[in-house]
């Protein structure tokens, strides 16, 4: 499935980036532990009675943006490679498309997971050696950082397999991270504008769609994991980003195999997506600006004006983003 020669080529093409990402993820948490220890020692010299040496990862740890290296790797491995023509060269080699995608994903995944696992083991050794008073949520935080960084990596890789340039890859990735919120919340907010805030309608809606009133639904929104408050939740929460990681991987894999990968500069490599996505952007623009207009004026007139403005803005953004090709690097 993965050829060693292709794996070596991928390594040589992005060796510097892989090493930077690896050591960043590997050393960040152990370095922060050592730094906190020295801060504790300094405190003991002057305020020995008020110093405490413990670690609480309930609000996140040393690397708040642990998802960012995965995003960077995916942009370079697919978006930048396509824009520079490197992907065209790789696809011209005697390897199948599935081998190329598997190799890229395997290399990026090994860097992300391997670095964080080694950082986790080194941190555990430091805890044994330094003996802090307590360590809270560390295992959950480190496992979560691995899962969520892989989810972010798989998402941006999938976006890169669907789109034809880096801008499209980033915009599509960001849109997907907030799409569940837009699809679930915007219609509900607009429905409240239309039918009012009567308790009967509200209770009827929650009875028919109980997921809206369940706090667990927020975790199907990928961008929610940027805020590390998930660390304080149940460990089973991480099954959601793990499942999304598998979904994004499959989407990226099949898109890379069946869609054209040449650097045409188009927004979507599969042209059949252009019109449906444009319609979706316009609808979301209408709903978002319509509700904003109502919130500002507290009147249906402001609601209608907002919908008109949203339709125009949604059309312009979708038209120039989707139908305007970018130049090659």
Mean pLDDT of the chain: 82
- Cα–Cα distances (Å) from 3 to 38, 111, 113, 254, in that order, read 46, 18, 20, 19
In the chain, pLDDT over 90 holds for what percent of residues? Answer: 22
At 80-135, the pLDDT tens digits run 888 888 888 888 888 888 888 999 999 999 999 999 999 999 999 999 898 888 88
- Quick check: 247 pLDDT over 90? yes
Positive or negative, the CA dihedral 205, 209, 215, 220 is negative
Tell me, yes or no, whether 14 lies in a domain: yes
Query: How far is residue 79's CA from residue 101's CA, in Å, rounded to a whole number?
Result: 13
Q: What is the DSSP string of 37-53?
A: HHHHHHHHHH-TTT---
Tell me, yes or no, whether 193 lies in a domain: no
Query: How far is residue 164's CA from residue 162's CA, in Å, rounded to a whole number?
Result: 7
pTM exceeds 0.95: no
Question: Which two tokens mark 225?
Answer: 């994991």
Tell me, yes or no, whether 133 lies in a domain: yes
At 158-176, the pLDDT tens digits run 998 888 888 888 888 988 8
Q: How confident is the model at residue 150 (pLDDT cuts 50, 70, 90)?
A: very high
Tell me, yes or no, whether 143 lies in a domain: yes
Angle, CA of 13, 16 and 18, to the nearest 5°: 85
Please say whether the beta carbons of 313 and 290 come within 8 A: no
Tell me, yes or no, whether 53 lies in a domain: yes
Enclosing domain of residue 105:
4-164+222-263
Angle, CA of 119, 121 and 127, to the nearest 5°: 100
Tell me, yes or no, whether 29 lies in a domain: yes
Tell me, yes or no, whether 119 lies in a domain: yes
At 256-270, the pLDDT tens digits run 888 776 666 677 777
What is the pLDDT at residue 167? 85
Query: How far is residue 185's CA from residue 54's CA, in Å, rounded to a whole number?
Result: 40
Q: How many domains does the chain have?
A: 1
Reported for 314-317, long-range contacts at CB under 8 A and 24+ positions apart, including other chains, are 314/281, 314/282, 314/283, 314/284, 314/285, 314/286, 315/278, 315/282, 315/285, 317/281, 317/285
What is the pLDDT at residue 19? 94
Question: Which two tokens mark 76?
Answer: 């370079």
Tell me, yes or no, whether 150 lies in a domain: yes
Reported for 76-80, long-range contacts at CB under 8 A and 24+ positions apart, including other chains, are 76/14, 76/17, 77/10, 77/14, 77/104, 77/107, 77/108, 77/157, 77/160, 78/104, 78/156, 78/157, 78/160, 78/161, 78/169, 79/160, 79/163, 79/165, 79/166, 79/169, 79/170, 80/166, 80/329
């Amino acid at each position: 499935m993965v050829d060693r020669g292709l794996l070596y080529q991928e390594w040589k093409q992005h060796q510097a980036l892989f090493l930077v990402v690896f050591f960043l993820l590997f050393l960040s948490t152990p370095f922060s532990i050592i730094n906190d220890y020295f801060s504790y020692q300094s405190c003991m010299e002057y305020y020995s009675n008020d110093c405490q040496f413990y670690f609480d990862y309930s609000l996140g740890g040393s690397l708040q943006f642990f998802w960012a290296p995965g995003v960077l790797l995916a942009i370079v491995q697919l978006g930048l490679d396509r824009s520079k023509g490197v992907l065209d060269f790789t696809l011209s080699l005697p390897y199948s498309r599935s081998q190329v995608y598997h190799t890229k994903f395997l290399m990026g995944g090994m860097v992300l997971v391997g670095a964080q696992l080694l950082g986790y083991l080194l941190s555990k050794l430091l805890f044994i050696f330094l003996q802090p008073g307590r360590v809270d949520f560390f295992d959950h935080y480190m496992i979560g950082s691995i899962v969520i960084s892989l989810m972010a990596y798989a998402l941006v890789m999938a976006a890169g397999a669907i789109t034809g340039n880096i801008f499209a890859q980033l915009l599509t990735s960001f849109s997907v991270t907030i799409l569940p919120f837009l699809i679930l919340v915007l219609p509900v907010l607009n429905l409240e504008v239309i039918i009012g805030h009567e308790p009967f309608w509200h209770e009827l809606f929650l009875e028919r769609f109980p997921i809206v009133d369940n706090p667990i639904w927020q975790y199907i929104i990928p961008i929610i994991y940027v805020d590390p408050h998930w660390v304080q939740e149940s460990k089973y929460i991480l099954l959601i980003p793990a499942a999304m990681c598998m979904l994004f991987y499959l989407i990226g894999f099949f898109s890379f195999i069946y869609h054209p990968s040449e650097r045409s500069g188009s927004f979507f490599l599969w042209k059949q997506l252009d019109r449906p996505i444009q319609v979706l952007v316009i609808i979301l623009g209408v709903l978002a600006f319509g509700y904003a207009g109502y919130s500002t004026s507290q009147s249906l007139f402001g609601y209608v004006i907002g919908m008109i403005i949203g339709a125009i803005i949604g059309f312009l953004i979708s038209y120039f983003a989707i139908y305007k090709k970018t130049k090659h690097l």
